[in-house]
Amino acid sequence: MEKIISLLKKLGIELTADQQKQIEEVGAKEFVAAAEAAKTATELEELKKQLAQRDADLDKLRSDTTSADLKNQLEELKAQYASEKEALTNKLTQQETDFAAEKLLANYKFASERVRASVLQEFKDKGFKFENGKFIGGEEFLEQLQKDEPTAFAQDKQPGLFMGSTQSTASVDALQTTIANAFGNK
């Protein structure tokens, strides 16, 4: 709901605290988070596939007549189903982690979308452990990245020293020092 409230503010619609609370209450009851919807859709898709495969396996078992063959096939199916369940669990965990990484990076302003995608990939490659809704060491990594590579993040433009229309990323102190040095004043 924060995104909706933020969008309304960007559109110039100011909401009172009571209106924001109402939006959040309705949103909590009526809407599902994108991560949850994607997770549910993935689970449903995988379960449909598994159900269709199990139906086919049961039909095959019904046609077999020897108990030794049945026992072997049952063991094979148990192993196959355990493997499929593990694969689904891993896929859902990865999906949850990816959504959480996207959400974490949404809190930072990057110089460009390409830089954001690169940082996201590097973040994923680091393999931060995701526990209790947070990445262990993830925020520290991003804070250190801001210190080490400040140009990767969007810079707030400051008005220039002369005529408010000139834009510069240089600090006022640095400009004053440069001007003073140019005139021989130190």
DSSP string, 89-152: HHHHHHHHHHHHHHHHHTTS-BS-HHHHHHHHHHHHHHT--EETTEETTHHHHHHHHHHH-GGG
* Residue 101 located in a structural domain: no
Evaluate if residue 159 carries a pLDDT over 70: no
* Residue 105 located in a structural domain: no
Residue 137 tokens read as 């060491």
Give CA–CA dist 30/177, Å, rounded: 58
* Residue 5 located in a structural domain: yes
Residue finishing a domain among 67, 95, 123: 95
Closest CA to 139 of 150, 126, 151: 126
Whether this model's pTM surpasses 0.95: no
Give CA–CA dist 118/102, Å, rounded: 12
Helix orientation angle between 34-63 and 67-105, rounded to the nearest 10 degrees:
170
pLDDT band at 161 (very low <50, low <70, confident <90, very high): low
Give residue-wise pLDDT tens across range 58-74: 777 777 666 777 778 88
> Is 16 in the same domain as 55?
no
Q: How many domains, the chain?
A: 4
* Residue 121 located in a structural domain: yes
Evaluate if residue 8 carries a pLDDT over 60: yes
The residue segments making up the domain with residue 125 are 111-154
* Residue 104 located in a structural domain: no
